[in-house]
Structure 1
C-alpha cells in the first residue's frame, strides 16, 4: 500500500508534469491525517514557487457603496435582513476614490478592487462606477478590479473597455450548502455572472468563505468547482462572525482545516493567484505566514469590506520576513 508521503509526491508530480490531479486524488489529499498536513503544505508551497515564483500579489479594497443590501447572505453584515449596526453610505465622488487608490499604490498594492454592496448595479450607479474607474485610470495607473454583483453582458463589456483587469464574484460556498446560506438568489445565478465576465474577456476572481458550518466534504466540493472554472485568482475568506447575523455564534475552524483548503486548491490550480482574504488577522496566529508557505500567494491588506485589517507596512514586513517579495 502506498504511503501518505509517496501519495503526496505522486500528486505533486502529476501537477508538475501538467497532467493534474483527479477529483479522487483531491479527495484523498483533503482527508489526509492531521500528522501529514505539514508535508501536504510543503508540497503545495513547492508547486506555488515553481509556477508563480516568490512574488506575493498584494491587493487593497475600497467598499465604494456600503448600504443595506437586498440579499440575505447569512454571513454578511451589510445585508438589509440583519440588524448589525454597520454604518452605511452611497457611492462617493470619484475624487475621493482616486485619493485612496493613489495611497494604495504608494503602499505597494498591485491592484485596487472596487466593491459595492448591492444585488446588481442600477444603470445610474453603473455609470458612476465607470466614471470612477476612468478617473483612476487617468490619474493613478493602478490595476483596477471590480466586485459589483450580478452583471449584464453589456456591463461586462464596458468594464473590459475601461481596462478593468479582473472581476470578482464569489461562489461563497459549495452548491450543496448554498441554499442554507442564501435564499434570495441561487448558486446558478452566481455562476452565470462568472460566465458573463469570462465571455467579455475579463479575468476571473472567485472563491468563497470557509467556516460557515460546512463539512470538509463541502469545502472539497467548492474547491473542485473552482478548478472547473480555472479562475486567474481564487479568494478564500475565513469567516469572522458578525454580531446580528445568523452566523454570529459560529465556531472557528481548526487551523489544519484552513491549511487543507489552501493546499489542495493549489494542487488543483497551480497557476492561479490564491489569495488569503477576510479573516486572516483574526483566525490565524501569524496573519498568514503559514498559508503563504502552504499554497497561497496573495493577500488583501489594509482592511476589508466591513472590518479593519493589518497596516500595509506590517504586511510588507511579514512577506519579507518569510523570504518572499511584494
Structure 2
C-alpha cells in the first residue's frame, strides 16, 4: 500500500466512526515530506465533516498574581528566571468585565481567565469566582479558566458558576517533562484534568512544541491527548523568552508543525484544535495553512506575556480562506 493510500484508508476509518490505532498514528506522523500535503488535505476534510466551517475564536485575560512558584523552563512568568516581566495583583471584577465585553464585541466566542500560579489560594479563588459571576451577569460570554491545580471543591464551584471548560496543559511528552519542570510532576497535571472532568467541566489540554523534544516525543504527547480525548486541544509553538533556559531554542520547521495538527485531527475528529501562542511569529501566514490542515480554532489579540494579531486582522484571515469567524 502506498503512503497516499494509507492516509486515505485512515481517513475512511475516521469517517466510519472508528478510532485509528497508535501504530497508524505513528505512521501518519512519519509520512515523507512529499506526502504531507495529502495528510493535511485529508485532515482538513475530517475537520469540515465533523466541525463545519466555523473557527473557534478565543481571547485570554492573564489575571496572574505575582511570579509563579514553578520552574517550567519555557515560562517567562516563573519566579526562577529573570525575564523582566511585570507582576501584579488580581484585577477588579469591573476591569475584567470591561475586557470581556470588548472581546465579545470583537467576535470572540469564549473568554479564558488565566493565572500564573501553582494553584489558587482560598482568597484568590474567591476573588476569581466573583469575577466569573460578574462576567456571567453583565457580558454573557462563555467563560473558561486556567488556574493551575484544583481541589475537587474548587472544580465543583467552577461548574456551578457555569464555567464551560478548564484548561490545564500537559506541556510536553511524559518522557520530556522532567527536563521541562521539576517543581511538580506530569502525573500532577493528569490528576488535575481528572478532577476537572469529574466535576463535569469540559477539558482543554495540549502543550508546547519546539521545546527541544524529538518527533517521537511529539507523537507521545499526541497519543496521550488522544487517550484523554479532551473537548479542546491547544497547541502552542515556543516563542523563546530571554532569561529562560530555552531562550536560544531553534524554531521548528513549519512542516513539523503541520504534522502534529493533522495527526491530532485524525485522532480527535470532534475536538476543537486550537492554534495558540507563537502562531504569529513561527508561522509564515499566522495560521491560514493550519486552519486547512486540521486546526479549527485560534486565540486572538494576545497571550499571557506577548501580544498577538488584532482581532479584525484575524477575522479577515479566516474569511480569506473561506471559513467563518
Q: State the TM-score, normalized to the length of structure 2.
A: 1.00
SS at match of 2:251: coil
> Is the 1:235–1:277 contact (alpha carbons within 8 Å) kept by the matching residues of 2?
yes
**Any residues of structure 2 matched to 1:238-257 within 5 Å, and which?**
238-257=237-256
C-alpha distance in structure 2 between counterparts of 1:146 and 1:270, whole Å: 24
SS at match of 2:307: coil
SS at match of 2:12: helix
Per-residue deviation at 1:19? 1.0
Other-structure match for 1:263: 262
C-alpha distance in structure 2 between counterparts of 1:133 and 1:143, whole Å: 10
Other-structure match for 1:88: 87
Other-structure match for 2:122: 123
Render the CA deviation track for 1:96-131: whole Å, top value 9, x for unaligned. 000000000000000000000000000000000000
SS at match of 1:176: coil
Other-structure match for 2:180: 181
Per-residue deviation at 1:222? 0.3
Per-residue deviation at 1:67? 2.5
**Any residues of structure 2 matched to 1:202-217 within 5 Å, and which?**
202-217=201-216
**2:153 maps to 1:142:** no
> Is the 1:84–1:245 contact (alpha carbons within 8 Å) kept by the matching residues of 2?
yes
5+ residue gaps in structure 2?
none
C-alpha distance in structure 2 between counterparts of 1:321 and 1:100, whole Å: 27
Other-structure match for 1:154: 153
C-alpha distance in structure 2 between counterparts of 1:83 and 1:286, whole Å: 32
C-alpha distance in structure 2 between counterparts of 1:165 and 1:132, whole Å: 15
Per-residue deviation at 1:66? 4.6
C-alpha distance in structure 1 between counterparts of 2:31 and 2:65, whole Å: 41
C-alpha distance in structure 2 between counterparts of 1:171 and 1:67, whole Å: 23
> Is the 1:66–1:87 contact (alpha carbons within 8 Å) kept by the matching residues of 2?
no
Other-structure match for 1:21: 20
Per-residue deviation at 1:90? 1.1
Structure 1 runs of 4+ off > 3 angstroms? none
5+ residue gaps in structure 1?
none
Render the CA deviation track for 1:229-270: whole Å, top value 9, x for unaligned. 110000000000000000000000011100000000000000
**2:41 maps to 1:42:** yes
Q: State the TM-score, normalized to the length of structure 1.
A: 0.99
Other-structure match for 1:279: 278
